[in-house]
Each structure stands twice: as C-alpha cells, then as structure tokens.
Chain A
Amino acid sequence: MIDLSTDCAGIKSPNPFWLASAPPTNSGEQVMRAFEYGWGGAVWKTLGQDPPVINTTSRYGAIDIGGQKMAGFNNIELITDRPLEDNLREIYEVKKRFPKHAVIASLMVPCERSAWHEIIDRAMDTGCDGIELNFGCPHGMSERGMGSAVGQVPDYVRMVTEFAKERSKVPVLVKLTPNVADIRFPARAAREGGADGVSLINTINSIMGVDLNTLAPKFSVGGKVAHGGYCGPAVKPIALNMVSQIATDPPTRGLPISGIGGISTWADAVEFMLLGATSVQLCTAVMHYGFRIIEELNAGLSDWMEGKGFSKTSEFIGRAAVNVVDWKKLNLHHKTVASIDHSKCIGCDLCYVACNDTAHQCIAIDRRKGNRKPHVIEADCVGCNLCALVCPVDACITMNNVKTGHKPLSWEEYTASGMKGHKEVYKRMHG
C-alpha cells in the first residue's frame, strides 16, 4: 500500500497536495469541492482585518510561451475581499465536515502585537490545523506595510512570528517572499521567532509586458498598472533553488518546508519534495485547469513511489538536497562530451549553429552529397550541454562520460594545493 499522507510541521494531510492561499480557496464552497476531488489541504485565501480590501478590475495577466498558455502568470489581487467573520465561519464548517484534511488559515494584519493576537485568537476558534503568516504578497498590501514589506526585513519576520507563536495553539508556517537578495536570512529569522515551518515562494515582482499599440501595460486598470506578483511554471526553478537553500543552510536545516511555485504536475511536486518540502502548494495550475488536476497529481505520485519502491513520503523527502552543493565542491576532473545519434538526427542543424555561433565551434557537418547530419569534434567539446538542449529530438544528442583517469578534484582542493599538477584542469585551462 502506498501511503501519500504527510506531516508538514505537525500539520497532517492525506496527501501532500495543498491549495495555496489564493482565489481557489476564496470560500468554503470551493474548498469543500476541492476536498471532494481529493486535495489534501487548503491554505485559505489570506484573511485580514475588517473592513475587507477592495480589489481592482482587471487583476491578472499571463505570458504564453510557444504554444503554452499561462507559462507565467501574474496578479495584482489583494488579500480576501470578504468579511473576516464569513471566512472564519466557513473555515469552521469545512473543518467540521473534513476533519482529516488540512485547513490552514493564512493571515495578514499590521505589525502590531495586539492585531496579531486578536486575529489568531479568532482563528483558533475555527479549529484550523495551522496558521500561515503571509509575509509574501508583493503588491498593494506591501504598500500598506504588510506582506512582503514584512518578509523583506528579517527583524520584522522574527518579531511577527513571535507575536503569532505567543497565541497560536496550532503550528505556524511563515510564508516567505522571494523578493529578497538571500532567502536564507528571512528563513533564519522565522526559525528564530519560533516558526514551525516555512512556505515558499510567494509571487515575484513583475510587469507582464507593454501593449505596443496603446502603450499601456499588458493588462491594465484603465491604462495603468502596478507591479504584480509572478508565478506559474516559469518560476519553478527559482522556487526550487530557494527551497534547497533553506533545506541545506545549517541554521534552518530540518525546518519543515511547504514548497510552492510553478508546480503543475506530480513530477514537479516530487522535485520540491526531494529537495526538502514536506508538503506542496499549487495555485496557477489549479487556476488554469481546475480542481480536477488533483486526480493525476495523486495517481502520478503514487505510481512513481511504487515504481521506486517507496511506501511513505517520508522515505524520499529531502533525499536530493545533499546533491546541491557550492560550486567550489564540484569535480573539475569530471568530463563529458556530446555525441549525436545519426539514426535519430533529423538534420535541423540547430546544434551546429548553436555550438558554432555561441559555444565552442566543435560541431561540424560533412556537406558532401547533401548530408545534413552533424558530428561532434570530441577533442574540442567542453561538454557544456547546449547542443543537447537545443536538439528537438529526444535522446538524439547525449552527453557521455569520458574517463579521464584522474582522481576527483574540486576548486577548493585545487586552490588549496597551489593550483598545480592537475592534468585535466591544466589541459582545459591552457589548451
């Protein structure tokens, strides 16, 4: 039996897939429908003080890349625009009907102890399983001294986390903003403030484009727009990096992480989990395709675990984090060269022009008799991967390991030993 259940900072859910705090979790009706579909948890659309905020129309923009719609998504929406009481009552109802699912209240109020105490006290009455402190929203709320305005200052992060921990009876997750120079500092501050875990990433400051006819930003509120928060498939690599940094930074190592940012498939989720996330949250993919995607998320994860021989999520969470190291620890004696499989090559010659114009001029084509199939001049190949990346055919260009016969050597070791005597490195540097 494959057990998909997870425990993220003490918040338990039947599977690791949570709806992120966003429009999909606007109301009890939506969250319950999502749970019926199979979602494991939901972080409620961020609650704030009454009177509720007022949103603009329009609110969202997207970029399409190639045929892919919404490869990147952006919004200028604020926190919930529904009265606090309505939301709290619905959280209570949902929790009663779905006791096994994770319901997390996302909160954002001004940086005053009393304000945080008051809203957390009220949230406690709903029976929610956890609290998420929204220190991430990068637009609108930040202009009012909340959201990312807090998340960008580690001292505020620590202070407000302390306020929350003083009253919360359930685990507290701190949702971090990626709009910082180094994500480790706010994460450390969260831990110092007593956070039970962190969620990341929230959205990235962004402008989606400019309409070349009207000169208005692409999606605008009557011709003007404020910067918005960027998310969706395009941000995943940024999020993965931040997750792995927190998972490997000694002061925060072991701090539970709820991974967010560009997750669309079960495989994306596994990547976050391998780098250390104990639960994952999705927003854009759900806004694109609806709650039904959970069926494949659960099935895909389960099939993958079965194939790999895992029965519990805890067996693989964090397993890849150790493979992310500082550059100075990489082996300079490792060598790969490209190889083109002529039985697969279709003769588009994109590898040729890429290597010739922008890499190391080591792909050649013997043009006799109309041949279009290129070959690699292995002696000159630096193994950069570019050709394999531009090749449209699966597994046509492979990067093959070459035995150098030299013991592994990192930059750290190389410089420590006075940069001498290491043949492969020497050859690469001096031709």
Chain B
Amino acid sequence: MDSATAKIYRENFKEISPALTPEEARIEAHRCLYCYDAPCVTACPTKIDIPRFIKQISSSNILGSAKTILEANALGHSCARACPVEVLCEGACVYHQWQERPIDIAKLQRHATQTLQDNGIQPFKPGPDNGFKVAVIGAGPAGAACATYLRRLGYRVTLFEKNKLPGGLNTFGIAEYKMQQKVSLEELERIFALGAELKLGVEVGKDIPAEDLLSGFDAVFIGIGLAGTHKLGVPGEDLAGVWDALSFIRHVKDRNLKPLGRSRTTVVVGAGNTAIDASTQSKRIGTERVVMAYRRGRADMSAYGFELELAQTDGVEFLWNVKVATILGTRKVEGIRLVGTKISQGKLVEIPRSGWNLPCDRVIKAIGQTKHYSLSKALGLKLASDGRIQVAPKTLQTSHPKVFAGGDAINGGKEVVHAAADGKRAAHAIHRRLQPDAELPPGDEYWVSTIEGRRVAPLQDRA
C-alpha cells in the first residue's frame, strides 16, 4: 500500500465512535437508573444483565463488569461495537419515554470489555474434561459462542472453519469503521484460548465428509452462516469491475490484500444494511461518486434509518425505484443501464421506455445472500421453504437429534448478537442432551428475574 493510500485508509477507517474515557464511563454509568426487570435486558438477544454491569462500572469494578457481559455473551466486545443498539438494548431504554438520550450501553460495554482485553485477562476457565466430543462447523460468531460455553462445561470441541482466519462475518463483514478486523481476531483469541481445537482451512463437505462428523463426535453444531451473494441475472455480470458486496468488503478489510484500484463512479445495487456498508466503504476508499440503486422506494428499504443517515453524511447518492437492465462494457465495466420501476396492482413493474445509461467503472451487488444447501443435504437435515435449517426454537436441535444449528444459517441473516445467543443456547441444549443428569449451568435464559421476583412460602397465619 503506498503512503497516500495508507493515509486515506488511516483517516477514513478510524473508529467511527470513539471509546469512552474512564471519567466519561463513570459519569455515564451513574446515569443508569438500575431499572427493575430492565427493558434493555429483555431487548438483548443474549440477555446481558445490563443494569448490573453498569453498576459494576460505577462502583469501579470494571473487570467484574466485563465478566458479567461475557458470561452472557461470549462475543460481548464485538457486539459492543457491531450491534445495532438503536433497535436493541438502547432502543428499549426507559430514558426514551422521558424524551432523553438513552444510556450509552454499547460504549459502556465496550469500555468494560476493552479494559479486560487490554489487561489480557481470561475471565473463564475450561470445565473439567467430561470426555464428550463436539464438532462445530464454522468459526463465526455462532460457532465461537457455542465453543465457549461447551469448553466451560468440559466438552472437547473441534471447530472446522473453511477460511484461513476465524470469525466469519465478524472478521470479514463488519464495516471496518465500526470494528477493525484485528478487534474481532483479538476477541476470538480469548475464546479459543479456552482450549477448543481450531482447524482452519477445512471445509466440511469438501475437505472432509460431513457424515464423518456424525460418527466421530457425540454432537455437531452447525454455524455456517449464509453463502455467496445472489446473482442479478443480467448481461454483463461477469465483467471485470463487478463485485459482490461480501468480497468487496472483505477486500477492504483485509490489509494483506492489494488495495482496490481507484473508482470514479461506483454503483451499489440493493438497499439493505450490506448495501449501505458497501457504499460507505466505497466512499471511504476514495471513490469520487457512489450511487446506491434500489428497485423499490425508500420506505421499502431494509436498512436501518441510522445506517441510511450515515451513508447520506458520507455523500452517497440514492436512486430509488430503478432496476438494473444491463451492465455495460466490453471487458471492464463502463456503465450500467437502469430502468424505472413502479408498483402496479401490487406488483413491481418496469416503466416502459424509461431506461438510461449511467457511466460507472464499478458495480457492487448487495442483493442478499444465498443459503448453503449441500451440507444440510449431506446430513439429511430438514430445511424451511426458504432454505434455512429448521430447528426446535428452544434447543436449536435440527431434525437430526445429534445435530444443532444457529446463527445466520437458521435465521436467514440477522446480527452477530443473535448468532452469539444461538451458540450459547445450543451449547446448553447439547449439554442437557449428553448429560441429562448433570447440574445445569445458569441456563440460557440467564438472570432476567421475572416481575414476581423470588417467591417464598407465606408464613403461617396467626392463630
């Protein structure tokens, strides 16, 4: 990377939200009301005891605070940076009812877990070896979380990961200005230090047969996420300069790869959060003009409002109600032909003779990811009609009793925190299945006390 490019990267990919200083953390922590049966906890898929960890910060027990967080969420540090908290914990904060700024939960969480990380502290110990072996396919958030809880319960865990680096989209997908790749890798290092065996560069179903896992292990957890980006199905899709969003983002994030060449105009197709991430990161690598093109209207886009706002401040342009007809060019992308769309009788239709050419030199497809089918098929798992692996909601057990699954592979693509919650839940379900008589861990429902609180038998009435 030449020094000019290095400078652009340094400037544009520094963390979008700065860390709290210890004083800021203390003051913010003191704002927390310590709600009873707090709505933020209910809103967190991993059910972190938020009021408690915040109180620990305000009472100077930072490491205890980090432990509370990581107890409930093995990827508590990544989540503190990556979670769309506006629609999760912070969105539920009672301060909203007061027309006031919610507690900065994510930043407090980051403060606590960063302190732990900076001190190189491993908060947990592996459990005493129980002899059972569990295979985990995929070392993304779901697999990593599952491995954490299994190791803590004393299971022998082997993770199979087809990539050369662990973390799945936590490592390769999260917008670099939200979380740098090394942050994800540091968190995973802490997780794998619990003693899970990590087999990198091994694709199950290709490098080893999936069936082998069924015979060689007592249980299997599948955390394989989603597969590649959908195809547009238009002429010109194979021209040089046409990217799928995931490869593009991965290329931006991986500093070992040759930086992308300059683009004058990039067109991003789609309007989900991935399209936003592709657009903002296109801008940030120095692209002069970035246009997001979406076939429906603004109201229909699936990206969060706050993400759209970020793209707007980054100077991304938007074209609503347009569809890609052709990607133009002979060897390389030279432009894109768009046609207008409208809704007619509830259906999206093209507006006749509305096509026009937009000159551009890069096209990024961000129209959703497909599912992995072969692995599920090899294991004979039942799938939902849209290709997600079917599981029992409480245990995440698949149609094969030995096999459990979680994360994007079962929810069709949500957030890191959902995958982390699934990994924990599945680990506990595997534990219950393999050792029904063993004492149960705190349980995946965790702390959340019910509104009844603890009950006691009434005292005898006075005679």
Chain A residues within 8 Å of B, Cβ to Cβ:
66-67, 345-350, 352-353, 356-357, 365, 367, 372, 392-393
CA distance A313 to B451 in the complex (A): 52
Residues of B within 8 A of A67 (CB): 27, 30
**Contact assessment for B94 and A353 in the assembled complex, using a CB-CB cutoff below 8 Å:** no
Given the contacts A66-B30, A67-B27, A353 and B36 also touching, CB distance less than 8 Å: yes
CA distance A365 to B452 in the complex (A): 10
Size bracket, chain B contacts:
10 to 19
- A-contact bits for B19-46, CB 8 A (1 contact / 0 none): 0000000010010011111110000000
Residues of A within 8 A of B37 (CB): 349
Given the contacts A66-B30, A357-B453, A365-B451, A352 and B36 also touching, CB distance less than 8 Å: yes
| A to B CB contacts below 8 Å, 22 in the list | A346-B94, A346-B98, A347-B35, A347-B39, A347-B94, A347-B97, A348-B33, A348-B36, A348-B38, A348-B94, A349-B35, A349-B36, A349-B37, A350-B34, A350-B36, A352-B36, A352-B451, A353-B453, A356-B453, A365-B451, A367-B451, A392-B33
Interface presence of B95 (CB below 8 A): yes
Give the residue name and chain of the B residue nearest to A65 (CB): B30
Residues of B within 8 A of A365 (CB): 451
Residues of B within 8 A of A350 (CB): 33-36
CA distance A352 to B451 in the complex (A): 9
CA distance A352 to B39 in the complex (A): 14
Residues of B within 8 A of A348 (CB): 33, 35-36, 38, 94
Identify which of B27, B38, B94 gathers the most chain A CB atoms within 10 Å of its CB: B94
Identify which of B33, B34, B38 gathers the most chain A CB atoms within 10 Å of its CB: B33
Give the residue name and chain of the B residue nearest to A68 (CB): B30
State the Cβ distance, B452 to closest chain A Cβ, in Å: 9
**Contact assessment for A346 and B451 in the assembled complex, using a CB-CB cutoff below 8 Å:** no
CA distance A132 to B36 in the complex (A): 51
**Contact assessment for A346 and B36 in the assembled complex, using a CB-CB cutoff below 8 Å:** no
CA distance A357 to B454 in the complex (A): 10
CA distance A89 to B98 in the complex (A): 58
Give the residue name and chain of the A residue nearest to B95 (CB): A346
- A-contact bits for B317-331, CB 8 A (1 contact / 0 none): 000000000000000
CA distance A347 to B43 in the complex (A): 15
Residues of A within 8 A of B451 (CB): 352, 365, 367
State the Cβ distance, B26 to closest chain A Cβ, in Å: 8
Residues of A within 8 A of B98 (CB): 346, 393
Residues of A within 8 A of B36 (CB): 348-350, 352-353
Residues of A within 8 A of B39 (CB): 347, 372
Residues of B within 8 A of A353 (CB): 36, 453
CA distance A279 to B434 in the complex (A): 78
Given contacts A349-B36, A393-B98, 19 further A-B contacts (CB under 8 A): A67-B30, A346-B94, A346-B98, A347-B39, A347-B94, A348-B33, A348-B35, A348-B36, A348-B38, A348-B94, A349-B35, A349-B37, A350-B33, A353-B36, A353-B453, A357-B453, A367-B451, A372-B94, A392-B33
CA distance A392 to B37 in the complex (A): 16
Residues of A within 8 A of B27 (CB): 67
Give the residue name and chain of the A residue nearest to B58 (CB): A66
Give the residue name and chain of the A residue nearest to B37 (CB): A349
Residues of A within 8 A of B453 (CB): 353, 356-357
State the Cβ distance, B76 to closest chain A Cβ, in Å: 24
State the Cβ distance, B21 to closest chain A Cβ, in Å: 14
- Interface positions, chain B 1-57, Cβ under 8 Å from A, are 27, 30, 33-39
CA distance A352 to B34 in the complex (A): 13
State the Cβ distance, B174 to closest chain A Cβ, in Å: 31
CA distance A297 to B54 in the complex (A): 36
